[in-house]
Structure 1
Amino acid sequence: MEITHPMLTPFTAKQNSVQIGYVPLLDCAPLIVAQEAGFFAAQGIQVRLQRESNWASIRDKLSLGILDGAHILAPMVLASQLAPANNDRAKTFKTALAMGYNGNAITLSSQIYNQLAVPDNSLPAIVTALKTHLSVTTGPLTVGTVHPHSMHTYLLHLFLNRAGIDMARVAIKVIPPVNMVEAMQQGEVDLYCVGEPWNTAAQIAQAGRIICYGSELWAHAPEKVLGVNQGFAQTRPEVHEKMLAAIVRACQWLECADHIAQSALWLAKPEYLDCSSDLLIQAMLGQWHTARCGSHQRKVFFSQQANAPWPAHAQWILQAMQAYNQIDTRKLSASLDALYDWETYQRVMTRLDLPLVERERFPGLLPAIALPASPGRRP
């Protein structure tokens, strides 16, 4: 798909202006591409992208309507129901668009990795060696996650369960993505799960070693979605759909390997990720277009219906939140169908003349939820 650069016309009508927030990670790429390649402009909307350093800031600004939409963690849609600002349900979130599958990795500190007697770099060998290491050491394994209500947290549980590590030995610490590498360098965490490029950055700094890609735990795991404030979705449905259409086009564009260099140059700009384009290219090549994981899926932005807000994914997230005592279903004021808006998604796909899919035909299998070894312990 070729880039188009439509003439950027100044917009004066407020109804065509949109504020979208994001956290500086590789998987915010569809937003940056939609802006830089002109896909938002082609839909007749003017978008201001606003960078935030952490998910709590994104959550608060989206809830209060300071942001109309945002690149958010998929579980945050359900979590927004827990304590809506001023008890106003119009300030909770919904989504009609997923922004792809996968994209996370688990990184172990070099200090610990170098102590493991790992015969090879396979996941089974690493988890066995890590369990053995913990059996002859004392103290907790300090694990970093980006937010309690995140796929990162749930992937960590899947990983720790596979390794047979008792959660009583684990201390979970919430750290903003951009601070993960420094936290590992300072010895604040032993292991973390985060999106790229902050796993590759740890390897370059020799602070940590990528030991597992999220796709090795769940081959089509949901990750980020385009979340919107409920009030925005209700009052500006046409602008909402135009915004979604532009992001779908950007996701299509990102699937081409020939576009890696250009997307890295855009993402590296000071106003976006503000980091080396070489770092981004290395992370993209490692996470998107190599075959380290064999048949496992990597970061997928568009193919395999990666933009569908699958009801099965929403149900899995709800069950995980229940398993870890994070949510009381009595506090859900809306159905999962209302929170994961399939009808709007289908209208957008029709607008773009793209194939429609059946809502129950999600790809792959859902993993069994790893129940906490210590009942009642919150992640």
Structure 2
Amino acid sequence: MNRVRIPAIALGALALSLSGAAFGAGQGAKHYRPGAAEVARTQKDFGGGAGEFRFVVIGDRTGKHRPGVFEGAMEKVERLRPDFVINIGDLIEGNTEDLAQLDTEWKEVGAAIDRLSVPFFYVPGNHDLTNEVQRTEWPKRLGADYYSFTYKNALFLVLNTEDPPQPKIARMKLFEQYGGEAMKTVFESLQGDPAKAEALFASDPKLAELAAKIRGSENVAFSVDQVKMVRDALAKNPKVRWTFVLMHRPAWKVDSPAFREIEHMLKERPHTVLAGHFHKYAYEARGGTDYIQLGTTGGIPGGVVDDSAAVDHVMWVSVAEGAPRVSNLKLDGLFGKQGPAAIVRPD
């Protein structure tokens, strides 16, 4: 029997989850023309329907970013050809009021993003909006720092957790004062089980003191106008099939009355919440809703050494019928047709 050999895309086991539709499978069965009645295939519907789409979410780039990682990710994403790309903040190192330095940093990341032939949506992070100078630069260069849009009857809410910017923490001073082991313990506890964290801090006043200082800088801020934007967007789009909420800091991990109000507005509709900031992947289901904290796409890895959740990746989201399907592609798991040792460049 003659067999048709299909060239590998070299995405490993993840190729099945991508289902081929992202690579131009067409708009369903109307484009299918079998050459003979006995074509050997299953009778499932074709992917790529008119209402289907795929998008990519990019993790943190900064916090002592590693040169070339983000750039390589943009090249790999371009080969996947999603409908669009969106990030969850922290594209530049920031933390400066020097306009020349900010210009250099934005041009650097912009050059990498320009490798994409599909739209890229910006979400602000704490490195992007550290101070009032950076807040002024953002709209000049990019546009609104919180907004909404719809695409194929799905609603996207882009939130700004730095509205206004939160106090900057002098982590090096805390490192010198409390030591690296205490810093690691507190950060891991704050990202873990809340009950266990509180029990630990109750048993160790020094760790509790350090945790209070860190928490003071890890809060989120949503202005009254931003909450109104969410309310208006939801009112204008009451019957979308899904709502995606993107932000930088995972607001569900802190005590934020404004975010609780946003969650209350969302509770009657199916939605997914995505964030980053802590440089390691984490998932939790809250009231039947997926809350996902992405890892990095070039930023310094978080967590402990060999922590499998501290990974460079991009998130692939497929939207068709029912709930969105989420797959995470490790950057070191993608390679081009030349093989794993070749330098990947878009065709």
TM-score, structure 2 as length reference:
0.27
TM-score, structure 1 as length reference:
0.25
Q: Max radius of gyration: which structure?
A: 2
More helix by share: 1
Q: Considering Cα pairs closer than 8 Å and 6+ residues apart, tell me whether 1 or 2 has the greater RCO.
A: 1
